[in-house]
A and B are shown apart, each in its own frame.
Chain A
Amino acid sequence: MNAKIAIVGAGPSGCYTAQALLKCAPGLEVDVIDAQPTPFGLVRYGVAADHQGTKGVARQFARIFTRQGARFLGNLSIGDETTVEDLRQAYDAVVFAAGMSGDRRLGIPGDDLAGVIGSGALTRALYEHPDAGPFPVLGDTPVIIGTGNVAIDILRLLAKTPEELRGSDLGPGPSAWLAAQRFRKITVVGRSSAASARFSPVMIKELADLATVDLSVVFPDPDGASVLNTAVTSTSGPLPVEFRFESRPAALEKTGGGLHLQVETPQGRDTIAASSVISAIGFTSKGTLDRDAILRAADEPDGARGRVYATGWFRNGPVGAIPQCREEAQALAQRILSELQPDPDRVGRQLFAQHPDIVDFDHWQQIDAQEVAAAPADRCRQKISRREELLRPSNLQDA
């Protein structure tokens, strides 16, 4: 089949969709568009720097471009110069897999105080995203709100010794920043009970293996053999890490000494002193795409224009990990193939003929090789972090 398909977002959902489409219909023209100059989305900028095994899917994704014939159109933002409507005119189908990059706010009084940091803002700084802001000041007693895997990733990175970060791709700036932190205590606060917290048990086992931590739990799981309770018994490091479950954040206040987080617990209101608050309670759609309008369009068949689809976090909200993205993308690819009505008059990527700043997959392969070659002995990669340098690296050969 010789149809033209645009996929907006080169993260796991977009890549798995391209992979599944081309596996079933190798003749398709599949263009994978990303606002960033680099592909793979959260595999590069969201999967923790010390979870390199999880990042291994990038090798699969690379083959979509090097062997299956998909094109990468990087550094191309949809929504401003090129609109969703433009894409629908140019392609037979348009898949939105743009993820979610905004931090969901706490939604309590004081959630905009200085010292309240979104998990995405922090991880963008740690993982050297081109849009990252400066590192926040965490102080000696940060409080992490949220008990999902993002919260645990942040906790683990904050608690790791430099030796425990060996083999990661954490950059020199973030590594120095982490090494300079002097925490007296890290508190993790969540609304859920210990038994129903969203983190995966494997993440807790990983915490229990760290040299520094001494875990404790307020409102623990009654099952004494739970992974977290076992970790409480097995850890005795110098850094107290307290999990406080069944504690619903109610308000944040700033006093002379720092922040005070009010929480509602089964035993009444409690106050937790915090030098800073990291909110890790999920993400929202942010950027140039009107997600609500796109999701409405995805439910309306319209024969005159390319059909719109949405998948992954962009469709479902920030739930599900890489395997779920794959499963959903494979089902979506089948649906797209059954609904495609190719129109040879559609121009496809010709739409972008006037965009000189688009970067392709060859460009990424050169950056990739350069980053791996630049890695110091205790790192597997040294990322290029600045957008200008990602677009025009000093020793790249392409224009």
Chain B
Amino acid sequence: MTISILFGTETGNAEMLAEDIAAALEDDHETRIANLQDTGAEDLRAADLSIIVCSSYGDGELPASAQPFADLLRAEQPDLAGVQFAIFGLGDTEYAETFGHGSMKLAELLTERGATPVGERLVHDAAGGDLPEDIAVPWATAILAGRATA
């Protein structure tokens, strides 16, 4: 299966997590990793599954590198029917009101364009004690296992 691992980041933490997910999947799948700012609709269509890692920034906004992608979805309104995506968020419950809003907003934009969410959106909490890769890697593996048996 061809898997695109895409990241929307502001400080690089989501990029690092995307690299960890790619490293965990690359033995069994054809993976490519890309910044959302370099990603277009055709890239989503080219993959069997897009796994997106997206942080939140400021007051629950999209991180800088996800913004051009979001702008593109809004401006060009591409038809993403047939595109499957799973999304993992990075957040901080110190800012409870907007926890995980970056990944939530991105998921909404993709769904509006007809893309199909796969699995549950999980958000890592930077204020908690877990390492993001300890949650995200099993999450990604479980989603792939679910697809394989479906």
Taking A202-B59, A205-B97 as contacts, is the C-beta distance between A53 and B127 under 8 angstroms? yes
Let me know if B16 is at the binding interface, CB within 8 A.
yes
In A190-219, which residues have CB < 8 Å from any B CB? 200-202, 205-206
Let me know if B64 is at the binding interface, CB within 8 A.
yes
In A351-390, which residues have CB < 8 Å from any B CB? 380
B94 to chain A, nearest CB (A): 6
List chain B residues, Cβ under 8 A from A205: 59, 95, 97
Within 8 Å by CB of B16, from A51, A53, A59, A322, lies A59
User: In whole angstroms, how far apart are the Cα atoms of A63 and B133 in the complex?
Assistant: 14
A53 contacts B94, C-beta separation under 8 Å: yes
User: In whole angstroms, how far apart are the Cα atoms of A362 and B58 in the complex?
Assistant: 34
Within 8 Å by CB of B126, from A52, A60, A63, A327, lies A52
List chain A residues, Cβ under 8 A from B92: 53
Let me know if A16 is at the binding interface, CB within 8 A.
yes
B56 to chain A, nearest CB (A): 10
Interface string of B56-87 (1 = CB under 8 A from A): 01110000100000000000000000000000
B12 contacts A16, C-beta separation under 8 Å: yes
B117 to chain A, nearest CB (A): 26
List chain B residues, Cβ under 8 A from A63: 16
Let me know if A266 is at the binding interface, CB within 8 A.
no
List chain B residues, Cβ under 8 A from A172: none
Interface of A, secondary structure class, is helix
Let me know if A57 is at the binding interface, CB within 8 A.
yes
Let me know if A323 is at the binding interface, CB within 8 A.
yes
Let me know if B112 is at the binding interface, CB within 8 A.
no
A57 contacts B13, C-beta separation under 8 Å: yes
In A15-45, which residues have CB < 8 Å from any B CB? 16, 19
List chain A residues, Cβ under 8 A from B127: 52-53, 167
Interface size class of B (residues with CB under 8 A): 10 to 19
Interface string of A62-85 (1 = CB under 8 A from B): 010000000000000000000000
List chain A residues, Cβ under 8 A from B2: none
B59 contacts A201, C-beta separation under 8 Å: yes
A51 contacts B94, C-beta separation under 8 Å: yes
B116 to chain A, nearest CB (A): 31
A57 contacts B11, C-beta separation under 8 Å: yes
B75 to chain A, nearest CB (A): 23
Interface of B, secondary structure class, is loop
List chain A residues, Cβ under 8 A from B97: 205
User: In whole angstroms, how far apart are the Cα atoms of A56 and B3 in the complex?
Assistant: 27
Let me know if A326 is at the binding interface, CB within 8 A.
yes
In B97-135, which residues have CB < 8 Å from any A CB? 97, 126-127, 129, 131
List chain A residues, Cβ under 8 A from B64: 323, 327
B55 to chain A, nearest CB (A): 10
List the B residue with the shortest CB-CB distance to A200.
Answer: B58
Within 8 Å by CB of B12, from A19, A52, A202, lies A19
A323 contacts B10, C-beta separation under 8 Å: yes
Most chain A CB neighbours (cut-off 10 Å) among B10, B13, B58, B94:
B94
B100 to chain A, nearest CB (A): 12
Within 8 Å by CB of A60, from B13, B58, B95, lies B13
B12 contacts A326, C-beta separation under 8 Å: yes
User: In whole angstroms, how far apart are the Cα atoms of A63 and B23 in the complex?
Assistant: 15
List chain B residues, Cβ under 8 A from A60: 11-13, 16
User: In whole angstroms, how far apart are the Cα atoms of A323 and B14 in the complex?
Assistant: 13
List the A residue with the shortest CB-CB distance to B133.
Answer: A59
Within 8 Å by CB of A322, from B11, B58, B126, lies B11
Known A59-B13, A323-B11, A327-B64; 7 more pairs at CB < 8 Å: A16-B12, A52-B94, A52-B127, A56-B126, A202-B58, A202-B59, A323-B64
B-side interface residues toward A, CB under 8 Å?
10-13, 16, 57-59, 64, 92, 94-95, 97, 126-127, 129, 131
- Kindly list the 3 A-B residue pairs having the minimum CB-CB distance in the complex, ordered from nearest: A53-B126, A53-B92, A323-B10
Q: Would you list 24 pairs from A and B whose C-beta atoms are within 8 A, ordered by A residue?
A: A51-B94, A52-B126, A52-B127, A53-B92, A56-B13, A56-B126, A57-B11, A57-B12, A59-B13, A59-B16, A60-B13, A63-B16, A167-B127, A201-B58, A202-B58, A202-B95, A205-B59, A205-B97, A323-B10, A323-B11, A323-B64, A326-B11, A326-B12, A380-B129
